[in-house]
Amino acid sequence: MKLNDKVALVTGAGQGIGEAIAKRLATEGALVYVSDIDHDRADRVAKKLAGFGPQGKSLLLDVTSPEAWAKAIEKIRLEKGRLDILVNNAGITIAKYFEETSLEDWRKIMTVNLESQFIAMQAALPLMKESALKSDRGGSIVNMSSVSGIIGTPVLAAYTASKAGVRYLSKSVALDFAKRGYKIRVNTVHPGVTEGESASVLFESRVRAGLSVSVSQARTDWIANYPLGRAASTDEIANAVLFLASDESSYITGMELTVDGGLSAQ
């Protein structure tokens, strides 16, 4: 029970990678606030967590809204009085060639993928600082980026820019917190292609862009770039988040953990 007595908040946890992260943290003893912009999805996952550990709690949260974040953090303060782990997982994918990417597309993906994490960390910081002082190893923020935040990817110009922003925002915030003695670590996880909705978006975009003749061919073409020869499971990404959320990574901050089947090693 690596996270026994810890309180965690996971965004975008109503499905996919976020759901897997919430379940993984719960299995290690954390009480997890399952947040999502779709309350029904969040509630469904939260009810499942009772079978893994402490009961989960669902939370309706628009991650782009400072007001929504303030309400969410206040709710956690009133109910639990602490927040030890924040996982900023919520994000979107817009897959288009650069010249077909509108300014509206650009602003939307920057708001959801990058600006929301800025808002989240500022909103959570006061409560996390208080909680960290009560803990031997302090608190942990894990920001979800992507392997596309490290290497360039065709038809994903806006997405890669947003995820690279997450990487460097997190490094700078990690240094700020360390210099000020807040006992809160900040790291990023960079998944490669992962089974689920986001992978489907990528494969469909290749067909639209004329790079593949079918979704099945797009999948084959995309995964051919990965040395391990397959997509990751959501559980494999969740395991990486667990490591950074737990005290087992207590001397790691400002770093990225790449879970990409060897893609970026080439």
Q: Is 210 exposed, middle or buried (0-12, 13-18, 19+ CB in 10 A)?
A: exposed
Whether 159 is a known active-site residue: answer: yes
The C-alpha angle with vertex 200 and arms to 236 and 256, in degrees rounded to 5, equals 40
Query: Which sign, positive or negative, has the C-alpha torsion 92, 258, 156, 220?
Result: negative
Q: Which residue pairs from 202-208 have beta carbons closer than 8 angstroms and sit at least 24 positions apart in sequence?
A: 202/93, 202/95, 202/156, 204/95, 205/95, 205/96, 205/155, 206/155, 208/95
Residue 52: other Cβ atoms inside 10 A: 18
Strand-pair category, 139-144 with 85-88: parallel
Of 159, 168, 182, 226, catalytic:
159
Q: What gap in Å lies between CA 140 and CA 223, rounded to an integer?
A: 32
Phi and psi for 254 in degrees, rounded to 5? 75, 20
Pairing of strands 256-259, 184-191: parallel
DSSP helix/strand/coil, 189 = strand
> In the structure encoding, which two tokens stand for residue 238, read together?
């969740």
Residue numbers annotated as active site: 159
